[in-house]
Amino acid sequence: MSKKKAVQDSGKKIPKSISLNEPWYSRNAIPLLIVLVLLVYVRSIALGFTYLDDTIFILEKGGDNEKLSNIFKVFNEGCFMPKDIYYRPLFRVTFIIERQILYLFPINDFGNYSIQLAHITNMILHAVSVCLLFHLLRKFSFSRENSFLWSAVFAVHPVLTMAVAWIPGRNDLMLAIFLFAYFIHFLSYIETRKTKNLIWMLVFLLLGFFTKETSVFIPLVSGIYLLIFQSREILKPKYLILYAAFVFETALWYLMRKRVYDPSSEQSIHDTISTITERVPGLIQYIGKIFFPFNLTVYPTIADTTFLFGIIAIAVALVFIFLNKERQAKNILFGAAWFILFILPFFFVPKKINDALYEHRLYIPFLGGIFIFREALPSITKILKSNWKIAYGAVLFIFSGMTFFYMNSFSDEITFYKKAVTDSPSSGYATNMLGIRLQNAGKDEEALPYFQKAFSIDTNLRYTRYFLATLDYMKRDSFEHAKKLLIAETLHTPGYAPSYFELAHIAFLENNKPGIIFYLKKCCELAPLDDVMNKNLLRAYIQQGDKINALNQIAVMQKNGIEPGQDLINSVNALH
């Protein structure tokens, strides 16, 4: 990949015709890029649920996905909960549309087909993103050949696997599409000043805002581009219109997000500074994953990720950039700004939400790496000489194979979390989740050691105490230990009904009648539609001869669509 003109020449109009002197692959760039994506990612269609957020949007929110009219509803609530720090309505809209597509076919098992369709959607979105990247690189004055070669790397790079193979990675795929389309029209507007480019640019910016919070940095990156490459014209009227539009759309997004924002998830200033400080080393690890993607995993942590690849990558890039006497400092500066600003949100995510070094976050910052490494390529091609195409082909083939096989880690929830625990042994969350998935699969004995290990790593994990109580102490009839753990779980995770249900079970074994009623009532408050919990509360009232509360419980159950059954009704009527 020989070096071409610098980014600042992007104002020069690029001919639309394709020269016959171009290599065959660059003449057929778009179809080849699409085929490349399909060849590498077609196996993703067979991947299952990982139970890392994907089931929330496909299964738990299945009721919201059923009605097309709920497209309007998702603009008035958070991403995960009605009140949330994440506001991503367009992401939610895609699952509603997918469910409407499935309704066109005679399907009963929506869960199985939904995950398959979701993977198809991600694959298509990735293909669209890759094609748009090709066009964007052309706008940034990359030659047609180099645009294809870089886009092909982006298409198959292993570090981007999670963005495609993990359903919630769709956020990054969608934002990349809107961001790349935005910048294509942004650069066209600078070049032509046509109103249509301004309109399309603002449309894609708004779509980005409603996709992921990272889009708030798009106007800033645009301003940095102008400051670096158009500094003499930065105060001209055509740009003042842009600035006003940026302010208006940012304010609109802010006001809509504010209505559903949950301030309870915020960190204190002290915790925020602490989080940023602890995560700065992750930047080196992220860089290492781009240039040497050999330590990839589904739940990476800073503690379990090596710094070696990042240090080597930075050192090698600096050496080759220094050796390039024609290097363009502006390109490096813009690439660094792009990379840092679009990876920046990682540093502010509260620890209690997640503390993982997720690789899907590199999907958009990756383009910054392309700009920087572009300046190192002339030095590398001088060494390789005419063999650079062989070297490139080998890298592309190796990356494709790595991505193809890495996808296996996303096959199902147990495979996913076993990979997470193996590669990130210091993560209590990953260890705890593997235990939960094994227990859910009926493998209690295999699950117990993971709960024990998770609790030894982090005593603040949710559900760990519950599973230790039910899988260990309850089975050994050590009810006092079980009770202490369950009560602690209710304090730590007050909304988890099964903890109260097990406490009711212990109260029953201890013949603690008030305790039985108290804990079962709490269960029904937290899970009003649960058939088993409601019927057990009704039985408790019957056993204690409390006809008034038994009748009230029947009324509540019937109101919630739970039929108590004639036997229980007869037992209540027999009470005096």
Given a cut of 80, whether residue 550 has pLDDT beyond it is yes
SS (H, E, C) 314-371: HHHHHHHHHHCCCCCHHHHHHHHHHHHHHHHHHHHCCCCCCCCCCHHHHCCCHHHHHH
225 Cβ neighbours under 8 A, 6+ residues apart: 186, 334
Instruction: Express as a percent the part of the chain with pLDDT over 90.
Output: 78
279 Cβ neighbours under 8 A, 6+ residues apart: 302, 346, 347
Crossing angle (nearest 10°) for helices 329-343 and 269-291: 130
Mean pLDDT (whole number) for 212-226: 95
Mean pLDDT (whole number) for 515-540: 94
CA dihedral 214, 215, 220, 226 (to 10 degrees): 130
Q: CA-to-CA distance for 380 and 386, rounded, in angstroms?
A: 11
Tell me the per-residue pLDDT of 484-520, one tens digit each, with 9 for 90 and over: 999 999 999 999 999 999 999 999 999 999 999 999 9
Tell me how far the alpha carbon of residue 261 is from its chain's centroid: 19
Q: CA-to-CA distance for 9 and 497, rounded, in angstroms?
A: 62
- The letter for the amino acid at 509 is L
Mean pLDDT (whole number) for 391-410: 96
Q: CA-to-CA distance for 414 and 201, rounded, in angstroms?
A: 43
Q: Please, are residues 490 and 496 in contact by the beta-carbon 8 Å criterion? A: yes
- The letter for the amino acid at 486 is L
Residue 6 is predicted with a pLDDT of 41
Q: Please, are residues 297 and 419 in contact by the beta-carbon 8 Å criterion? A: yes
Q: CA-to-CA distance for 549 and 476, rounded, in angstroms?
A: 35
How deeply is 283 buried, as exposed, middle or buried, from its count of CB atoms within 10 A (0-12, 13-18, 19+)?
middle
Tell me how far the alpha carbon of residue 526 is from its chain's centroid: 28
Mean of the per-residue pLDDT values of the chain: 91
Residue 88 is predicted with a pLDDT of 95
Q: CA-to-CA distance for 250 and 264, rounded, in angstroms?
A: 23
φ, ψ of residue 9 to 5 degrees: the values are -85, 10
Report the SS3 class of residue 447.
Answer: helix
Mean pLDDT (whole number) for 48-71: 92
Give which of 79, 103, 106, 81 is closest to 174, Cα–Cα. Answer: 79
Q: Please, are residues 170 and 122 in contact by the beta-carbon 8 Å criterion? A: yes
Both tokens assigned to 551? 């009748």
pLDDT level of residue 8 (50, 70, 90 thresholds): very low
Given a cut of 50, whether residue 246 has pLDDT beyond it is yes
Residue 262 is predicted with a pLDDT of 85
Angle at 470 between CA 496 and CA 549, to 5 degrees: 55
Residue 62 is predicted with a pLDDT of 86
| Start-end of H helices in 267-307 | 269-291
Both tokens assigned to 70? 């709920």
Both tokens assigned to 32? 């080849």
Instruction: Answer positive or negative: Cα dihedral of 142, 145, 148, 149.
Output: negative
Tell me how far the alpha carbon of residue 451 is from its chain's centroid: 25
Q: Please, are residues 145 and 23 in contact by the beta-carbon 8 Å criterion? A: yes
Residue 23 is predicted with a pLDDT of 84
Q: Which residue, chain included where needed, has tokens 């007050």? A: 494
Report the SS3 class of residue 214.
Answer: helix
pLDDT level of residue 274 (50, 70, 90 thresholds): confident
φ, ψ of residue 450 to 5 degrees: the values are -70, -35
Given a cut of 80, whether residue 538 has pLDDT beyond it is yes
Angle at 159 between CA 154 and CA 165, to 5 degrees: 90
How deeply is 465 buried, as exposed, middle or buried, from its count of CB atoms within 10 A (0-12, 13-18, 19+)?
buried
Give which of 300, 406, 438, 415 is closest to 49, Cα–Cα. Answer: 415
Q: CA-to-CA distance for 368 and 372, rounded, in angstroms?
A: 6
Q: Which residue, chain included where needed, has tokens 């509603």? A: 96
Q: Please, are residues 165 and 52 in contact by the beta-carbon 8 Å criterion? A: no
> Is the pLDDT higher at 108 or at 83?
83
Mean pLDDT (whole number) for 438-455: 95
Q: Which residue, chain included where needed, has tokens 């500066």? A: 333
Report the SS3 class of residue 84.
Answer: strand
Given a cut of 50, whether residue 163 has pLDDT beyond it is yes
489 Cβ neighbours under 8 A, 6+ residues apart: 463, 465, 466, 469, 496, 499
Q: CA-to-CA distance for 483 and 489, rounded, in angstroms?
A: 10
Instruction: Round to the nearest angstrom and report the end-to-end CA distance of the chain.
Output: 90
Tell me how far the alpha carbon of residue 181 is from its chain's centroid: 21
Contacts 24+ apart (CB under 8 A), 532-541: 533/497, 533/501, 534/560, 534/562, 534/564, 535/562, 535/564, 535/565, 535/568, 536/501, 536/504, 538/564, 538/568, 538/572, 539/568, 540/513, 540/516, 541/517, 541/572
Q: Which residue, chain included where needed, has tokens 């995510």? A: 349
Mean pLDDT (whole number) for 9-36: 73
Residue 116 is predicted with a pLDDT of 94
Q: Please, are residues 347 and 276 in contact by the beta-carbon 8 Å criterion? A: yes
Q: Please, are residues 262 and 85 in contact by the beta-carbon 8 Å criterion? A: yes
Tell me the per-residue pLDDT of 98-110, one tens digit each, with 9 for 90 and over: 999 998 887 777 7
Mean pLDDT (whole number) for 309-326: 94
Q: CA-to-CA distance for 481 and 483, rounded, in angstroms?
A: 5
Mean pLDDT (whole number) for 108-133: 92
Mean pLDDT (whole number) for 32-56: 96
